[in-house]
Amino acid sequence: MKSACAATTRTVGTAAVIELSGDVDGSAAETLTTAYQSAVADGEARTIVLDFAAVDYINSTGIALIVSVLAKARAEGRLVAACGLSPHYREIFDITRLSDFIALFPDLDEVVSQLKGATA
Amino acid sequence: MTGSAPSAPRRLAAFAVPSEPGNERLALAKVAEVVTGRGLTAARLERLKTAVAEAAMNAIEHGNHNQVEVPVEVEVLQSGTEIVVGISDSGGAAADVSAEEPDLADKIEGRQSPRGWGLFLIRNMVDDMDVTTEGARHTVWLTMHTAAPTAEGAGK
C-alpha cells in the first residue's frame, strides 16, 4: 500500500523539473532534499517544477516538505511551479494557500508551454 | 404523529491499528472500504480519507507516542445522513495537538515551523470535528453528511 517516494530531475530550458512518484510523507524528506540540491546544482534553474503526476499520497508532513522546498527556492530567488496534482490535492494546495505561491498547471506540457511563452 | 424519530447510530466497523508510523494508511484504507457506497461523493470520500489519515497520524504520534503495543482504535458509525468516524488514542487531554493556525507566509519566512498542518487539514476536510476525552481515552470524531451539504457545509 505504501510506496516509497522517488524523484528524478531533469532540465527543461531554464527550469529544473523534479518528477516525484510514490508517497510524499515524512519518509520523503531525504529524497526531496537530494532532488532539490541536484536540481539547482548547476545554478542555472530559475524555476523549480514539482511534477506530482505519479504521486499517490500527500500528507501534512509532505505538505511541510513542500513548504520547505518553496521557502528555500524563494530565498534563492527561484520560482516554483507544480503540475499533475489530482483535484483533491489541488484543493489542498488551495486550502493551505500553497497555490498563492506556487503556479499550478494541469501537466508538464502546460508548464513547458508556459515557460517557452515566457522566454519567447 | 408523522415525524420520524432520529435513527440510532449504527456501527459499521470497529478496528484497531498498532501505533506505528505509516499505519494511518491502514486506517484510511479500511474506513474508505467501509464507507464506499454510503452516499459520499468521490471528492468527499477523498476529504474523509485525508482527515482520517491525519487524525490517525496524530493519535499514533502525539497520543500514543509511537508505542506499537498501544493501539489506535477506529470506529465507523452511520446515523441518518451522517457518517461519523471516531479515532481514539490513550494520550488523554495531553494528546490535543497545538491549535496554532498555520500561516503559509510565516512558514516561508521562518516565523513558523513548516509543520503543523494536520489539525488544519482535518478541520477543513470534514463537515464537523469534535474531540472528547474520558480519562486517558482521547477521541477525535469526524463527521461527514451523506446528503447534499448545505451552503455553509459546502464552503468548508
| pLDDT, tens digit (0-9, with 9 covering 90-100), for B19-36 | 999 999 999 999 999 999
Which domains, and CATH codes, for chain B? 10-154 (3.30.565.10)
Residues of A with CB below 8 A from B102's CB? 96
B59 in Cβ contact with B88 (< 8 Å): yes
pTM, two decimal places: 0.90
Averaged pLDDT of chain A? 93
Distances (CA, A) of B97 to A9, A96, B55, B100: 36, 18, 10, 9
Q: What is the pLDDT of residue B152?
A: 42
Is residue A119 pLDDT above 70, yes or no?
no
- Residue keyed to cell 494520550: B91
Bigger pLDDT: A87 or A119?
Answer: A87
CB nearest to B43's CB, from A57, A87, A97:
A87
- The set of cell numbers assigned to B82 is 451522517
- The set of cell numbers assigned to B2 is 408523522
Is residue B2 pLDDT above 70, yes or no?
no
- pLDDT tier for residue B128 given thresholds of 50, 70 and 90: very high
Residues of B with CB below 8 A from A90's CB? none
Separation CA B76–CA A3 (nearest Å):
26
SS3 string, B43-91, reads: HHHHHHHHHHHHHHHHHHHHHCCCCCCCEEEEEEEEECCEEEEEEEECC
Q: What is the pLDDT of residue A20?
A: 97
Is residue B98 pLDDT above 60, yes or no?
yes
Averaged pLDDT of chain B? 89
Which domains, and CATH codes, for chain A? 6-119 (3.30.750.24)
Is residue B155 pLDDT above 50, yes or no?
no
B92 in Cβ contact with B133 (< 8 Å): yes
Are the beta carbons of A70 and B108 separated by less than 8 Å? Answer: yes
Residue B43: closest C-alpha in chain A = A88
Q: What mean pLDDT is predicted for residues B49-77?
A: 97
Q: What mean pLDDT is predicted for residues A56-78?
A: 96
Are the beta carbons of B57 and A98 separated by less than 8 Å? Answer: no
Are the beta carbons of A67 and B22 separated by less than 8 Å? Answer: no
In this complex, is the C-beta atom of A88 within 8 Å of any C-beta atom belonging to chain B?
yes
Are the beta carbons of B117 and A64 separated by less than 8 Å? Answer: yes
Is residue B150 pLDDT above 50, yes or no?
no
How close A7 comes to chain B (CA, Å)? 20
CB nearest to A97's CB, from B26, B104, B110:
B104
Q: What is the pLDDT of residue A120?
A: 56
How close A49 comes to chain B (CA, Å)? 18
Q: What is the pLDDT of residue A46?
A: 92
Q: What is the pLDDT of residue A63?
A: 97
Are the beta carbons of A88 and B47 separated by less than 8 Å? Answer: yes
